[in-house]
Amino acid sequence: MVAKSAISATGGNADARRGRGRPPKFDRDVALREAMKLFWEHGFEGTSTDDLEAALKMGPSSILNSFGSKEQLYALAIETYMGEPTKYFVDMLNSSPDTRQAFENLVNAAAEEFTRSNHPTGCMISLAGTHMSAAYESIRALLAAQRALSERLLADRLRRGVSQGDLPADTNVEELASFFGTVFRGMAVQARDGRSRAQLQAIGHLAMRAWPDAKQALPKSPKSNRPPSLGRRRARRPSSN
């Protein structure tokens, strides 16, 4: 359905006609999760105010009073998505002290999250806002900023791996983070197109082949319990010929 640019502030009569005001037991968090799923499934422009009213069981004036315009509601839905639904992203980046293992864990977790049956497939951020009219530039910019944030988190984890000796010292962490960000967005699109969890995992495992050669990484200095030598080495006697 064609989306309206904003929820009308003059929807009081419509509320009365449809018998939809704020539900007696209004739960803001539940309403935001419902809006999130709707936007996730259909996108910002593909979600109409009628869709929102039906999903939230609220009239237009009640939605306006509770959440503001459609754009404001969408921004709140993005905040909701960046909370619990994407918690796995940060958790997996910190799931192992070994950087490569952490990224492998993230690849597997992304394949699982993108194919869960209790919410729309794919990723709300990856799939949204790439083609939007000029009237919604603020929405496009919001989504681009969230994608950039994800890549910064990837780069930060890679940078930590370089400092710990898991990755070669000359690793271009920005490029590697951008590569994996592109892989995850591609996996999200594949999930939306109906690819299975196993197929997404196979894509992720292929991407891991681009991991920098560990042999080039700085060797980790082993801990030694042997006390340092205090004496000088004895000079070698010159050989007598």
- Give me the domains of the chain, ranges plus CATH numbers: 12-80 (1.10.10.60), 84-214 (1.10.357.10)
| Residues 191-234: tens digit of each pLDDT | 999 999 999 999 999 999 999 986 655 455 455 455 444 444 44
pLDDT value, residue 164 = 95
Closest CA to 175 of 122, 201, 217, 211: 211
**Whole-number Å distance between alpha carbons of 174 and 187:** 20
The pLDDT of residue 65 is above 60: yes
pLDDT value, residue 3 = 38
Residues 6+ apart with CB under 8 A from 161: 99, 100, 167, 171
| Residues 89-132: tens digit of each pLDDT | 999 999 999 999 999 999 999 999 999 999 999 999 987 776 77
Location of structure tokens 């939230």: 56
| Residues 145-158: tens digit of each pLDDT | 999 999 999 999 99
Residues 6+ apart with CB under 8 A from 22: 58, 62, 65, 66
Location of structure tokens 């710990």: 164
